[in-house]
Chains A and B, each alone.
Chain A
Amino acid sequence: MAKDIMDIEDGTFEDEVMKSDLPVVVDFWAPWCGPCRAIGPIVEELAGIYNGQIKFTKCNVDENPITPGKFAVRAIPTLLLVKNGEVVETITGLTGKAKLEDMIKTLL
């Protein structure tokens, strides 16, 4: 897995995502979720491009059940786009690179 993407846990979510200076993308996933595995490389590619401008993170919902509940995440894959402690966009389901990149660029 690319070092451009940080693993986030229930305990570290507040500090690493909500209190982050940079805008954050949170990729909620689980190991047996096929579409999550498919969107993984797309997110990694975008992380490589926007590293330094946007913080990319991943949250395994199986190991971290509290955070998804807080944000009403009831389906995966779901990407949360967070800026200055606020969720500005929620993207649910397997989405293509072009569309994802367009939405992520709005964080800049």
Chain B
Amino acid sequence: METVDYDLVIIGGGPAGLTAGMYAARARLNVVLVEKISPGGQVLITDLIENYPGFPEGLSGPDLTDKMVAQAKQFGLPIENGEVTGLDIDGPVKKIILADREIKTRAIIIASGASPRTLHVGEEKFSGKGLSYCATCDGPFFRDKDVVAVGGGDTAVQESIFLTKFARKVYLVHRRDQLRATKILQERALANDKIEFVWDSVVTGLDGFFGVESVKVKNLKTGEERMIKADGCFIWIGILPNADFVGDTLKRDEWGFILANHNMETSVPGVFVAGDVRVTPLRQIATAVGDAAIAAFSAEHYIENMTS
């Protein structure tokens, strides 16, 4: 049998990856977790998590990340730095291609998560100059200023509420006439005097010389356009999968999210998936962790069959 470096490689160090890694380490698999930059994933930039079970007082994203990392390391999970650029997964030995090396493994769990969608209105030039996807990172720079936030889901609403700790006013621009966010978050936002809702509208452009100075908004129902004077524009309109490295090797949906069955098995035997990167009706820490436990269990089973 061809030699491999590992039984299992986990790609991605967010809640899904860390949970799968912990389960794999406890199952005494020869496992490694490969993380591009730093463990935590999208959880890292949230200031408050209130709906992850076990924490009635809530906790910050960084704190939850620290606990998950500590727990996984406690059982001996090795976490390495590396960026996966491709996969070679036909056959019993899978190759994971990174920038500087290749890793040979029997099984893979892809837990690479997702990243924010962008507006595609030429806003990139304002990156670091008023355009942001992270309220906890950049909120403080907008003390007593007006900002625009775009979106209507949980992230947009929660982060807008967070922004009101600093900003004078938050214009929440949403393309529908009601929010998608969880009701409790909607209640808080509607009760917050600093949030002004701009319904049925989309952002069509950002303007400014030294940085963002105004945001162009169009009402989809009336066609009316207006300029909102703002020093910042925060974009929270959903996420796209971090799965470019997958290419055509696995079956994915039209958005690029990876398809899997209830055992977290993808279209290729030996390759499993967990968390936001897969096709799923709900993307939460709680679902990522659930996926990961199943993926690790399935992977362990698969490896046993391959090596017995």
CA distance A61 to B140 in the complex (A): 8
Tell me if B138 and A34 are in contact (CB < 8 A): no
A99 → chain B closest CB, angstroms = 9
Of A34, A35, A68, A78, chain B has the most CB atoms within 10 Å of the CB of A34
Q: Do residues B62 and A34 form an inter-chain contact, with CB atoms below 8 A?
A: yes
Contact flag A74-B128 (CB < 8 Å), given A38-B37, A42-B38? yes
- B40 adjacent to chain A (CB < 8 Å): yes
Within 8 A of B (CB), among A1-53: 30, 32-39, 41-42
B37-77 residues with Cβ-Cβ distance < 8 A to A are 37-40, 43-47, 60-62, 65
CB-CB under 8 A from B128, the residues of chain A are 74-75, 78, 92-93
Known A74-B128, A96-B37; contact A30-B211, beta-carbon cutoff 8 A: no
A67 within 8 A of B: no
- B83 at interface by CB-CB < 8 Å: yes
- Cβ of A62 under 8 Å from chain B: yes
Q: Is the CB of B44 within 8 A of A32?
A: no
- Chain A residue numbers with a CB within 8 Å of B268 are none
Residues from chain A with Cβ under 8 Å of B43 in the complex: 34
**Structural contact, B40 and A75, CB atoms closer than 8 A:** no
Assess the B44–A76 pair: CB atoms within 8 A: no
Tell me whether A96 and B36 are in contact (CB under 8 A): yes
Given A39-B38, A75-B128, A33 contacting B137 (CB threshold 8 A) = yes
- For chain B residues 204-232, which have a beta carbon within 8 Å of chain A? 210-211
Minimum distance in angstroms from B214 CB to a CB of chain A: 16
Could you tell me the distance in whole angstroms from the C-beta of B128 to the nearest C-beta in chain A? 4
Contact indicator per residue, chain B 71-105, by CB within 8 Å of chain A (1) or not (0): 00000000001010000000000000000000000
> Once bound together, how far apart are the Cα atoms of A30 and B38, in whole Å?
17
In the complex formed, the residue of A with least CB distance to B83 is: A96
Cβ contacts under 8 Å, A92 to chain B: 127-128
Whether the pair B130, A34 counts as a contact (CB closer than 8 A) is: no
A34 CA / B47 CA spacing, docked (Å): 8
**Most chain A CB neighbours (cut-off 10 Å) among B40, B47, B61, B141:** B141
Distance of A33 Cα from B136 Cα, bound (Å): 5
Q: Tell me the A residues contacting B by CB distance below 8 Å.
A: 30, 32-39, 41-42, 61-62, 65, 68, 72-78, 92-98
17 intermolecular pairs with C-beta atoms under 8 Å apart = A32-B47, A34-B134, A34-B136, A35-B137, A37-B44, A38-B37, A61-B140, A72-B210, A74-B138, A74-B141, A74-B211, A75-B128, A75-B129, A76-B137, A77-B137, A94-B37, A96-B36
